[in-house]
Amino acid sequence: MKRYKKKYNMYSAWNYEQEVLDLNAQSEKGWQLVKGKSFSHKYEYNPEVCYRYQLDYLPGLSGTPEKFHLLDVYKEQGWEFVNKTFNGWYYFRKVYDPALPDAEYELYTDRSSLQEMQGRWAKIATSCAIMIGFFFLCWTLRFFAQPCLPFFLGALTFGFDFFVFLRAIIMMRNPDKPK
């Protein structure tokens, strides 16, 4: 049997919980995360242990005293730092004990820190939506000025992307509503 495997996947920032669920499912099958990346994960086969994973979005913390303090706080709570991605996602894991409550495996025990993280992502998504909305408007005007299939497809693509980002912003600003 292979000792390592690489799995390619893509998750949206506003639904990072799905990535956590997938990491936990892999761990239950014996595949433990070695390195998490934006579009792929590297796993090592070790059926002897099962982890629960969590992610935290902490852009701009690299090398700062706040980062080391936060990592120490997580370590005191039993979390092991796995790695971080170039875009600010930090991967953590904790040995799973089925006797413990689910709340034991959450990084965000207070509502304000979760809302702060989602607020940061909402700002990024808003900037992207504005840019994509501008392109949508340009391609739509271009299509009406000179109707042809490429301009129509461009406008359609940017329009779809614009509404996806709008939905993401709404979801991040209202985290209590069902997704």
Q: What H or E segment, with its residue span, contains residue 42?
A: strand 40-45
88-118 pLDDT per residue, tens: 888 999 999 999 988 889 876 456 666 777 7
Single out the residue of 118, 80, 96, 92 nearest to residue 30, CA to CA. 96
Tell me the CB-side half-sphere exposure of residue 104, using CA atoms within 13 A. Answer: 12
Give me the amino acid identity at 154.
G
Helix (H) or strand (E) holding 51: strand 51-57
Checking if the pLDDT of 58 tops 70, the result is yes
| pLDDT at residue 178, as a whole number | 54
Q: Say yes or no to pLDDT of 9 above 60.
A: yes
The residue-averaged pLDDT of 67-75 equals 85
Q: What pLDDT is recorded for position 155?
A: 95
Mean pLDDT of 48-69: 82
Which candidate, 93, 105, 87, places its Cα nearest to that of 33? 93
**What pLDDT is stored for residue 30 in this prediction?**
95
Q: How many CB atoms lie under 10 A from the CB of residue 88?
A: 15
In sequence order, the 6+-apart residues with CB closer than 8 A to the CB of 62 are 84
Q: For 108-152, write each residue's pLDDT tens digit.
A: 645 666 677 777 778 888 999 999 999 999 999 999 999 999 999
pLDDT tens digit sequence for 25-54: 999 999 999 999 988 999 999 999 999 999
78 secondary structure, DSSP code: T
Give the model's pLDDT for residue 114. 64
Tokens of residue 154, six digits: 């461009």
| Number of residues written out for the chain | 179
Global pTM value: 0.70
Give the pLDDT confidence score for residue 79 in this predicted structure. 94
Question: With contact defined as beta carbons under 8 Å apart, do 53 and 33 qualify?
Answer: yes
DSSP state of 6: E
